[in-house]
Amino acid sequence: MREELLKSFVDMDEQEAVRIARELVESDGGAVAVLETCKEAMEEVGRLFEAGEYFLSELIAAGDMFNQIMEFTLPKLQGDEVASIGTMVLGTVQGDVHNIGKDIFKVMAEASGINVIDIGIDVPHEKFVEAIKEHKPELVGMCCLITLGVDSMKRTIEVIKEAGLRDDIKIIIGGGRVSQAVMEHVGADAWADDAARGVRLSKELLGKE
């Protein structure tokens, strides 16, 4: 059944995947199996995306399936069964309201075991600082799709530094406007303009890969 779930998920057969997951989750130890299979499937989808076989629509569809399945799976799991590999505060920076890419990255990061605290879009610099203080994450993710947002990221990182929090965290940036040059310009630690790579790098920053 795990095989079938994996296959239908990766093949984007939403109805079938959800049906199998519902069935599986009721069996003994099923919830853990569903969780792991879905993570594996998300990873595979990410791989296919990086290979150019899958496109954004598949990422979105996969994310949606993942969320649907988790909705009935997570309540069935014990606390220690969902242990995360680390926490990330994630937001689209001030002045930028694009959220699709961030949301895709978020599900994939969650699927890989990162506990993501999503603080939304058009996030003011101070709100990043507050969230870091509150959630004490290992990682901060910033998303930026418009040129204007580049400056915003730079400023946010400065504000984090001023608050004395920069050394406690690693910062990864993503979205359509990021590059090696932008990463250096704003003073981040890693960059990715696709979600799969972003998840890989995040895990590396957490020392989990």
Please report, as ranges, the residues that interact with ligand B12 according to CB under 6 A: 56, 59, 95-102, 104-105, 141-143, 145-148, 172-176, 192-195, 198
In this complex, which beta carbon is closest to other proteins, that of residue 154 or of residue 166? 154
- Least Cβ distance, residue 16 to ligand B12 (angstroms): 25
Using an 8 Å Cβ cutoff, are 49 and 62 in contact? no
Q: Give the DSSP letter string of 84-129.
A: -SEEEEEEEBTT----HHHHHHHHHHHHTTEEEEE--SSB-HHHHH
Using CB under 8 A as the binding criterion, the count of chain residues that bind other proteins stands at 27
Residues between 38 and 67 with contacts to other proteins, criterion CB under 8 A: 52-58, 60-61, 64
Write the binding mask 104 to 143 for other proteins: x where contact by CB under 8 A, - elsewhere: ----------------------------------------
Q: CA separation (Å) from 123 to 28, 81, 93?
A: 43, 32, 5
Does 159 engage in binding with other proteins (CB under 8 A)?
Answer: no
- Bridge partners for 172 per DSSP: 141, 190
Can you tell me the distance from the alpha carbon of 30 to that of 26, in angstroms, rounded to the nearest whole number? 6
Does 148 engage in binding with other proteins (CB under 8 A)?
Answer: yes
